[in-house]
Amino acid sequence: MRYEKLFATANHVSDKLFSRNSLGACENCKGIGVEKIDLAFMDDIEQACEVCGGSGFKPAVLKYRYNSKNIVEVMDMTVEEAYDFFPDKLYRQSFDMLLQLGLGYLTLGQRSDSFSGGERQRLKLTKELKHSNKIIVLDEPSTGLHPNDTEKLLNFINNLVDNHNTLIVIEHNLDVIAQADWIIDIGPGAGKYGGNVVFTGTVADLLKDTVSLTAACLRQHLRNEGTHPKKDAS
Ligand SMILES: [Zn+2]
């Protein structure tokens, strides 16, 4: 069930009032929350809409409440707060997944164009979890992730693999690299210094490689961490 429905049922009004893309949209900014100011000699600037304060909702909608909060207060909640706010089980599974991926700080009303690259990649993962036998390509899913949450990301990736998916992950994160079943190392350096395949194989073989810079970094990293790479599955 969508949040709009919960508000509609609690207040006996149309659920469209609780959507920024529908009847709930602020008339001044059309639900976008920002106003553009045209400047003659510089790029246009955007500022928060003065009618809705940036929420995108018509002020009249704010009188309706669900569990004593209005729609803007609910949209401003983080996933972590929302997990306790909504009745048991309602959104638990989705919230749980976001928490597992270290995304508990995202707010419910956050606009998708405000997500960082790493956040976008991790959100993409939540959609893939129910699939199997798929090839999933991820571009640096660990970007911006708190180091403590890397393990959560790895658990997630392992669940997808257990579900018979194939993941092709482009990564610099050594914890993620250490868990891969097969590595294609492109170098010898980064950016314009790269372009050649310098190594292909398992983590165990990479650790023995004397040419690859990734190998040297990975050996150092594992020594510092005191951890061990995933055992060769074959
Ligand atoms: Zn507005």
CA of 158 to the centre of ligand 1 (A): 43
Looking at this protein, which amino acid is placed at residue 52?
A: C
* Structure letter (DSSP) for residue 151: H
Ligand 1 is an ion; its neighbours by CB within 5 Å are 26, 28-29, 49, 51-52
CA of 32 to the centre of ligand 1 (A): 7
The average pLDDT across 219-228 equals 82
CA dist 164 and 167 (Å) reads 10
CA dist 209 and 79 (Å) reads 43
The average pLDDT across 29-51 equals 88
CA of 109 to the centre of ligand 1 (A): 15
Q: Please determine, for residue 64, whether its predicted confidence score (pLDDT) is greater than 80.
A: yes
The average pLDDT across 151-155 equals 89
Q: What is the pLDDT of residue 234?
A: 44
The answer to whether the beta carbons of residues 182 and 157 sit under 8 Å apart is no
CA of 197 to the centre of ligand 1 (A): 52
Going along the chain from its start, the domains and CATH numbers come out as: 3-76 (1.20.1580.10), 117-225 (3.40.50.300)
Report residue 198: phi and psi, to 5°: -100, -20
CA of 37 to the centre of ligand 1 (A): 14
CA dist 31 and 57 (Å) reads 6
pLDDT bracket for residue 233 (50, 70, 90): very low
Least confident of 10-14, 29-33, 35-39, 56-60: 35-39
Structure tokens given for 147: 């180091």
